[in-house]
C-alpha cells in the first residue's frame, strides 16, 4: 500500500460502487481515477462522488 504524498500516512483503499480508489483518512487526499470532464481539483471531485454515493 502506498503512503500519502501529502502527510505520509498509509492510504486506505475505498470502493464507491464500481469505482475503486485510494484515499487518506488523515488529511483528505484522494486519488480519483474518474471525472476526466471536470476541471475542479481532485479533492472536490472526490467529495462530489462521495456525496452522490451516500445519497443513494
Ligand atoms: Zn494524507
Q: How far is the CA of 54 from the centre of ligand 1 (A)?
A: 22
Q: Is residue 37 part of a domain?
A: yes
What is the pLDDT at residue 36?
52
Query: Separation of 1 CA from ligand 1 center, angstroms?
Result: 13
Q: Is residue 46 part of a domain?
A: yes
Distance 6 CA to ligand 1 centre (A): 5
Residues 6+ apart with CB under 8 A from 43: 28, 29, 30
Which run of H or E residues covers position 22?
strand 19-23
CA–CA dist 35, 42 (Å, integer): 9
Which pLDDT score is estimated for 47? 77
Number of domains in the chain: 1
CA of 38 from ligand 1 middle (Å) equals: 23
C-alpha 52 to ligand 1 mean position (Å): 23
**Domain extent for 48:** 12-55
Instruction: Assess if residue 38 is contained within a domain.
Output: yes
Residue 5 lies in a domain: no
- Domain-embedded: residue 28: yes
Run of H or E residues at 21: strand 19-23
Q: Are 4 and 26 in contact (CB under 8 A)?
A: yes
pLDDT at 14: 83
What is the pLDDT tens value at each position of the chain, 56 positions in all? 689 989 999 999 888 788 888 889 899 888 765 555 555 555 667 778 778 888 76
Confidence at residue 8, expressed as pLDDT on a 0 to 100 scale: 94
Amino acid at each position: 500500500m502506498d503512503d500519502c504524498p501529502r502527510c505520509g500516512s498509509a492510504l486506505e483503499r475505498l470502493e464507491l460502487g464500481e469505482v475503486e480508489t485510494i484515499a487518506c483518512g488523515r488529511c483528505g487526499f484522494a486519488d480519483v481515477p474518474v471525472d476526466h470532464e471536470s476541471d475542479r481539483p481532485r479533492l472536490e471531485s472526490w467529495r462530489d462522488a462521495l456525496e452522490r454515493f451516500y445519497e443513494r
